[in-house]
Chain A
Amino acid sequence: MVKLEIRRNAYYDSVTLMIISKDLKKLPGVKEALVGMGTDLNKEISHNIGLNSAELDAITSNDFFVAVECDKEEVMAAAIAKADELLNKKKEISIANYYPPTLESAIKIDPDLNLALISVPGRYAAGVAHECLDKDINVMLFSDNVSLEDEKKLKEKAVSKGLLMMGPDCGTAIVNHVPLAFANVVSKGDIGIVAASGTGLQEVTCIIDRMGAGITQALGTGGRDLKDEIGGLMYNMELDALIKDPSTKVILCIAKPPGKDTQTRMLKKIKTGGKPAVVFFIGGDPHEVEEMGLVGAVSLEDSARKIVALSRGEKPETFEGFDIGEEAADKFADDEIAQYAPGQKYFRGFYSGGTLCDEAIKIMIHQLGDIYSNIPLKPEDQIENKDISKEHTCLDFGDDEFTRGRPHPMIDTSIRVERIKREANDPEVAIVVLDCVIGYGSCADPATDLAEAMIAAQAAAKARGRHITYIASVCGTEKDYQGLAKSRDTLRNAGAMVMPNNAQAIHLAMKILKKLEK
C-alpha cells in the first residue's frame, strides 16, 4: 500500500528534503519512498515508480509530500516521525553554528541565557549593558571607556536586581567554572575569589591550580569599583555571594588599594562574613588588613599560597622566596653577572598583563628608587616616550597608548617582539623580565614568538660583547590549550630563566641588581 503525508504550502530547503528522501528509503519495511514538491511531473514520476494515490493527484505544486510504499501503518508512522525528526534536526544544527546578531535573537534561541559578555566600542557599551540588565541578564563588560557616572548607574541597577555587573574593563572571570574572556582552565575547589584586577586574577587562579587546589568562582569587578565614587558596589555584592555560597569555604580578595571609606567597609564585610579570607591590596600595606584580623599578602603568589593554606586548614605563612632555593638563585645571579660587559646595569620589564607590571613596579620600587613606566607608581616616574626606555623601565604593553588601533599584546605579540629585539641595542640593559600569559583569549603560541625574539636579541647583544639576562614567567595551567610545560620549555630553550610566577621572576631580577650594586 501507498501512504502519504501532505503538508500544504510547506516549504523546506532542498538539502533537508534530500536527506529525508535518502533516510526514509533505509527504514525497515519501506519499499519505496519519494519526497518532494507536488508538481505535475513529480506526480507522474510517483505513478511511474508505483506510488499511485488519488490523494497525491489532488495536491498542488506548492505542497510538500512524503509518499511511502509499505505494508503497515506503523511503518508509515515511523517514516513520518523520521521525516519530522530530520526536519527538526536540521534546525538544531543550524542553530548550533549560529552567532545571533542581536540580543533578542540570542534570547529567542536560548530563553534561559543569563550572562552576557559585552565587547563593543565604549560609547555603546553602557546602553547594551543596560539592555541586558533590563532583561535580567548578568553582565561581564569587557569594554572600557565607560564613564564613572554610567558605571555607577549600571551597578546600582544590577545591585537592585541582584545581578552581576562585572566591569567596565573587566578582562577576566570564571563563573560556574566557565572561563570568560582572558582566563585559564583551572580546577574546581573551595576557594572563591573577587578581584578588581584582570591578570592578577589569572595569576592567582593559575598558582592555586598548580598547587593542587581549585576555585568555586573567580569574579571580576572592573578596576574602578573600589574607588569611593563607585563605593565597591559590585565588590560588595560579589563578596556577599561568596559568603552565602555553601561551596565556597575561603575567600581571596585582590585589588589595588581602595578609597579609604570603601576599604574600611570592605574589610568589615569580609570580617563579619565569617569565612577565612586573604586580602591582597597590590602595592598596599598588608598591616592595614592584618589590623582588622584578616590575612594580608605581599604578592599575588603570596596571596595564592596563603589562601590555599587556609583552604587546607593550615597556617598561612608569608612567602617571598624561590622555589629553586636561595642558593641556586644566588648562583644564577653570579653566573649572569659574570657575563655582563661594563655598563650593563638596568632592568627592563615588558609586560602584556597590567597587574603583573604593576606588581613588578611595587615589589621593586623600594629597592630601586625610580622605575620609569607608562603606569608609574610616582608621577615623576612617568616615562616621557613609551618607545624609548629610560634607566629601570617597566612597561604595560596592554595599556591604551600601546593598544590604540592594534590588538592587545596577549593576542598579538608583535609589539613586544619588536621591543625585545630593539632593546638589545642598548648597552646599559642587563635584565629583561617578561610575562607570557596563556589560556583563553591569548594567542596560540606566545612563548615561541617571545623565544624567537630573545634568541635574535641575545645574538645581537653577543655580537657586541654583551649578555642579557632574560627572566620569564608563564601565567597559565597545564590544562590551557597552549600547555604550561610546553610554553615554559620553549622559553627555557631560548635561553630564558623561567620562574614559576611573576613575583619570583621579579625577586630574581632584584637579586641580580642588588649584587650588581655591590
Chain B
Amino acid sequence: MKQSFRCAAISENLLNRFKEQDVLDLHIHSVFAHALNLSCKSDLITVLSADRDMFPLSMLLADDVLFDTLGLSQGQRCKLNFADKKIDAETESFSFSDAAVYDCNVLDISEKPVLWNVIENRCEDVKSFVLENGSEDGLLPLLSTDCSMESNMWCEFLSARINDLCNTLSEVFENNLSIERKTVLKEEFAKITGAGPGLTPSGDDFITGALSAVFCLAAYGFISKDVAFGIGNCASANENKTNHISGSFIKQASQGLLSYGVIQAAKSLFEDGFSKEILFRNIKAVLDFGSSSGTDILTGFLFALSAYKKIKRAR
C-alpha cells in the first residue's frame, strides 16, 4: 500500500506554471533528508518537509518527513496530477487537495515602503547582525569593512568580480539597462555563477540574494520593474553554469519569485510596523538556510542595496 502524505502549502507559481496541463510526467532528480526534487523538463519541483522554508515551485508537507527513508530514489518516474491534486510516485503519494496557496512573487507586495533613509539605517543594523551571526565559510568576510574577519579563498576569488558587478548594478540603477550594459552585466554574473562551496555555490547564493534585493527595490517602487526583469534575464542567462538545483533558485529569483523567509525578511526591512526584534528574527531565519547559503544570500542582498544606495547619495 502506498504511503500518502498531505501538503499544507503549495506555491502559487507551481499551480500557474503548469495550469494548462492535467498530468505532468516527472522523474526524481534528487532525494535529500528534508527535500525531494522532481525534474520536469528544465524545471525542478520541490516537495519539502514541514520543517523547511517554503520557496517557489514547491509544496510543503504538513508533517516532518525524512525523504531519504522512504522508497524514493533518483531517476524513478512519477506523475503530477493536477485534476486529482497529487503527485504519485511508486511507493508514495503527496496530496495537495487542501493545501494553502503561497504567493512567492515579491512584486505582488502592495504595501508602501518606509523612507529610504530608514531602510539605509536598518541595512546597517542588518549588516552588523549578519556579521555577528552569519557563517564565515562563504562570502561573509566581504561584508566586513574593518578587516576584523579573516578572508578565505572564495572571497579572494570573487571579491573583485563582485565589486565589478555591484558597480555595474549602480550604473544600471542610475542610467537604465542599455544593450552594452546588458552584455557587461551578463558577463559579470557569469564570472560569479557556480563559484564556491556547497550544493548551491556561494557565488550563486550571492546572485540569488542580489536579485532578491533588485526585485524588492522594484516591488517597493524604487526602480522600475523592467529594469529588475532586465537584470534578472542577465543573471539567468548563466543558469547552465551551475548545477540544476542552484540554477533553479537563480532562475526563480530572476523573475522575482523568492522564498517565504526572504520575503518576510524583506518586508520587515522595507515596511513600517516591524520592530527591530522581528527584523532580526526574520534575518536569522534566512541565515539558517543551509550551511553558508543564508549568509551568502544576505551578503548579496546587502551588496545590491548598497549599489542602489550609491546612486541615491550621488543624487
Pick the interface stretch among B171-179, B195-203, B228-236.
B195-203
Chain A 93-115 against B: per-residue CB contact (8 Å), 1 yes, 0 no?
A: 01100111110110011000000
Chain A 1-41 against B: per-residue CB contact (8 Å), 1 yes, 0 no?
A: 00000000101111101100100000000000001110111
A193 to B86, CA, bound (A): 49
Q: Please determine whether A18 and B33 come into contact, CB atoms closer than 8 angstroms.
A: no
Whether, in the assembled complex, A292 has its beta carbon less than 8 Å from a beta carbon of chain B, the answer is no
Q: Quick one: closest B residue to A45, CB to CB? A: B157
A92 to B153, CA, bound (A): 31
Which of the residues A11, A48, A98 comes within 8 Å of B64, measured between beta carbons? A98
Whether, in the assembled complex, B259 has its beta carbon less than 8 Å from a beta carbon of chain A, the answer is no
A485 to B235, CA, bound (A): 68
Chain B 219-249 against A: per-residue CB contact (8 Å), 1 yes, 0 no?
A: 0000000000000000000001111111000
Q: Please determine whether B292 and A14 come into contact, CB atoms closer than 8 angstroms.
A: yes
Whether, in the assembled complex, B167 has its beta carbon less than 8 Å from a beta carbon of chain A, the answer is no
Q: Please determine whether B69 and A36 come into contact, CB atoms closer than 8 angstroms.
A: no
Contacts A14-B293, A18-B292 given; does A109 touch B69 at CB 8 Å: yes
Q: Please determine whether A105 and B242 come into contact, CB atoms closer than 8 angstroms.
A: no
Whether, in the assembled complex, A331 has its beta carbon less than 8 Å from a beta carbon of chain B, the answer is no
Q: Is the interface of A mostly helix, strand, loop or mixed?
A: helix
Chain A 318-360 against B: per-residue CB contact (8 Å), 1 yes, 0 no?
A: 0000000000000000000000000000000000000000000
Whether, in the assembled complex, B129 has its beta carbon less than 8 Å from a beta carbon of chain A, the answer is no
Which of the residues A35, A42, A48, A98 comes within 8 Å of B66, measured between beta carbons? A98
Whether, in the assembled complex, A366 has its beta carbon less than 8 Å from a beta carbon of chain B, the answer is no
Q: Quick one: closest B residue to A90, CB to CB? A: B33
Contacts A36-B197, A49-B153 given; does A94 touch B33 at CB 8 Å: yes
Q: Please determine whether A95 and B194 come into contact, CB atoms closer than 8 angstroms.
A: no
Whether, in the assembled complex, B70 has its beta carbon less than 8 Å from a beta carbon of chain A, the answer is yes
Q: Please determine whether B196 and A36 come into contact, CB atoms closer than 8 angstroms.
A: yes
Q: Interface size of A by Cβ–Cβ distance < 8 Å?
A: 35
Whether, in the assembled complex, A176 has its beta carbon less than 8 Å from a beta carbon of chain B, the answer is no
Q: Please determine whether A15 and B291 come into contact, CB atoms closer than 8 angstroms.
A: yes
Whether, in the assembled complex, B74 has its beta carbon less than 8 Å from a beta carbon of chain A, the answer is yes
Contacts A13-B32, A105-B66 given; does A41 touch B195 at CB 8 Å: yes
Whether, in the assembled complex, B193 has its beta carbon less than 8 Å from a beta carbon of chain A, the answer is yes
List the B side residues contacting A102 at CB < 8 Å: 3, 5
Whether, in the assembled complex, B65 has its beta carbon less than 8 Å from a beta carbon of chain A, the answer is yes
Q: Please determine whether A61 and B291 come into contact, CB atoms closer than 8 angstroms.
A: no
Which of the residues B30, B195, B290 comes within 8 Å of A42, measured between beta carbons? B195
Whether, in the assembled complex, B63 has its beta carbon less than 8 Å from a beta carbon of chain A, the answer is yes
Q: Quick one: closest A residue to B50, CB to CB? A: A101
Whether, in the assembled complex, A247 has its beta carbon less than 8 Å from a beta carbon of chain B, the answer is no
List the B side residues contacting A14 at CB < 8 Å: 197-200, 290-293
Whether, in the assembled complex, B137 has its beta carbon less than 8 Å from a beta carbon of chain A, the answer is yes
List the A side residues contacting B65 at CB < 8 Å: 101, 105
List the A side residues contacting B194 at CB < 8 Å: 37, 39-42, 61
Whether, in the assembled complex, A62 has its beta carbon less than 8 Å from a beta carbon of chain B, the answer is yes
Query: What is the distance, in angstroms, from A30's C-beta to the closest C-beta of chain B?
Result: 16
Whether, in the assembled complex, B90 has its beta carbon less than 8 Å from a beta carbon of chain A, the answer is no
Q: Please determine whether A100 and B69 come into contact, CB atoms closer than 8 angstroms.
A: yes
Whether, in the assembled complex, A404 has its beta carbon less than 8 Å from a beta carbon of chain B, the answer is no
Q: Please determine whether B291 and A37 come into contact, CB atoms closer than 8 angstroms.
A: no
Whether, in the assembled complex, A518 has its beta carbon less than 8 Å from a beta carbon of chain B, the answer is no
Whether, in the assembled complex, A91 has its beta carbon less than 8 Å from a beta carbon of chain B, the answer is yes
A selection of 28 A-B contacts at a CB cut-off of 8 Å is A9-B74, A13-B199, A13-B290, A14-B198, A15-B290, A36-B198, A37-B246, A39-B242, A41-B193, A41-B196, A41-B241, A42-B195, A45-B195, A48-B157, A61-B240, A61-B241, A61-B242, A62-B243, A95-B69, A98-B64, A100-B66, A101-B64, A104-B3, A105-B3, A105-B66, A105-B70, A108-B69, A109-B69
